[in-house]
A = this chain, B = another copy of it.
Amino acid sequence: MPTVRDIARDAEVSIATVSRVLNNSAGVSADVRERVLQVINRLGYVAPVGRRHTHLIGFAFTGPATFFSPYDAAIQDGMADASQETDYDLVLLNLQRDKRSSESYTQLFLRKGVRGVILRTTTATRETCRRIAGEGFPSLVVGDRFDDPSINFIKGDSRDTTFQAAEHLIGIGHSRIAVAASDVEDSDHTDRLEGYRKALAHHGLQPNPRWTQRVPAQRLDGSQVMSRFMTDPQPPTAIVITDPLLSVGAVVQAHRMGVRIPEDVSLVGFDDSDLRGNVYPTMTAVCQDARQLGYEAFLAVAGMVSGTGPRTVHRHLRTWFEIHGTTGPPPVAPVRVLPNGERVAEQALPTR
């Protein structure tokens, strides 16, 4: 493990200056600071606890923290599992709270005694991931994708499986296929929408613009989605939903409205934990193992910081399509719910 002396020699400064950079003390010129920080990341300086080194890997929310979603809970569970197979412990960091404006991310992480970080990002904070990777600090983004090869990531790829799901619906006779996705423009939802669109195009179906909804990814929004689609004057006979909580909300709402799944409308949901079995009927869904995502992310970062694994990680985990009870052949005529709650079979309408 390098000491301040090693860093000093390499950066051609005194150990005092290295210490000042480590502590983000005032009175270091910008270029010296930059040079020292680069050497720190190149040699892999590690903050000592007493005379030992820390064995901490950070899980950093670039925005507000949440473990409440099944996705985040599962990622967390996978990370905790992986941590048991290594010498490293997982510490939760919140960059919004902790980052001082004058310090670099490397300085923040060293101050926390963290040797590597797993980054949980949102569209709003992709820039943060770029900066951290740019500083050269060992890091990996979980659940998103970057074109810049210097940014490490692990994510599930659900474009082809969503294509497959939509194609399955077409195969059993559906042509009026709606889609609902989170209103967040992340790569996951973009991929899934693309899979949906490609499948329709591939089979000569033009997606009706009324049949696409982007909403916040909460259960209640899923209920709204079902409500709006089924009360539409041109109701779909099948719905693809690209988010777990939206999917659950949609199923629950169908029950409430007296809309039968799959007799009146088919539903393909998305599940990254095991929510598909919490609803009735068990949900046909594009599935991803978010637990594994967290597990692999942790092992990858542990490998980076211990030097036993690659320093570059660009991985796509497989997703899959499971057929259960929420999909079936379309009704003879599309079913629609009137404002008074009555369920009626419409005349078959053109598919757009």
Q: Of residues 191 to 216 in A, which have CB atoms within 8 Å of B's CB atoms?
A: none
Interface check A80, CB cutoff 8 A: yes
| Residues of chain B contacted by A68 (CB below 8 angstroms) | 73-74, 77, 273, 291
| Residues of chain B contacted by A67 (CB below 8 angstroms) | 67, 73, 76-77, 80
Q: Are B49 and A113 in contact (CB under 8 A)?
A: yes
| Residues of chain B contacted by A280 (CB below 8 angstroms) | 251-252, 255-256, 279-280
In the complex, identify which listed stretch (A83-91, A128-136, A170-178) lies at the interface while the others stay far away.
A83-91
CB closest residue in chain B, given A291: B68
Q: Are A113 and B54 in contact (CB under 8 A)?
A: yes
Interface check A348, CB cutoff 8 A: no
Cβ-defined partner of A252 (8 Å) among B22, B83, B248, B278: B278
| Residues of chain B contacted by A274 (CB below 8 angstroms) | 219
| Residues of chain B contacted by A112 (CB below 8 angstroms) | 89
Size range of the chain A interface in the assembly: 35 or more
If A92-B89, A113-B113, A280-B280 touch, whether A54 touches B65 (CB-CB below 8 Å) is no
Most interface-central of A81, A91, A113 (chain B CB within 10 A): A113
Q: Are A111 and B52 in contact (CB under 8 A)?
A: yes
Interface check A347, CB cutoff 8 A: no
Looking at the assembled complex, report how far the CB atom of A284 sits from the nearest CB atom of chain B, in whole angstroms: 15
Interface check A93, CB cutoff 8 A: yes
CB closest residue in chain B, given A51: B23
Q: Are B52 and A49 in contact (CB under 8 A)?
A: no
| Residues of chain B contacted by A275 (CB below 8 angstroms) | 278
Looking at the assembled complex, report how far the CB atom of A69 sits from the nearest CB atom of chain B, in whole angstroms: 9
Please measure, in the bound complex, the distance between the C-alpha atom of A94 and the C-alpha atom of B89, giving whole angstroms.
9
Looking at the assembled complex, report how far the CB atom of A337 sits from the nearest CB atom of chain B, in whole angstroms: 16
| Residues of chain B contacted by A233 (CB below 8 angstroms) | none
If A47-B50, A65-B80 touch, whether A56 touches B91 (CB-CB below 8 Å) is yes
Bitwise interface map of A from 36 to 67 toward B, beta carbon under 8 Å scored 1, else 0: 00000000000111101010100000000111
Cβ-defined partner of A49 (8 Å) among B48, B66, B84, B219: B48
Interface check A309, CB cutoff 8 A: no
| Residues of chain B contacted by A278 (CB below 8 angstroms) | 219, 248, 252, 275, 278-279
| Residues of chain B contacted by A73 (CB below 8 angstroms) | 67-68, 70, 72-73, 76
Q: Are B49 and A54 in contact (CB under 8 A)?
A: yes
| Residues of chain B contacted by A310 (CB below 8 angstroms) | none
- Please give me the 5 A-B residue pairs with the lowest Cβ-Cβ distance, nearest first: A73-B73, A255-B280, A67-B77, A91-B91, A68-B77
Given contacts A67-B67, A89-B92, A278-B278, 19 further A-B contacts (CB under 8 A): A22-B50, A47-B49, A47-B50, A49-B54, A49-B113, A56-B91, A68-B291, A84-B97, A89-B93, A91-B91, A91-B92, A92-B92, A113-B113, A252-B277, A252-B282, A256-B280, A279-B279, A279-B280, A280-B280
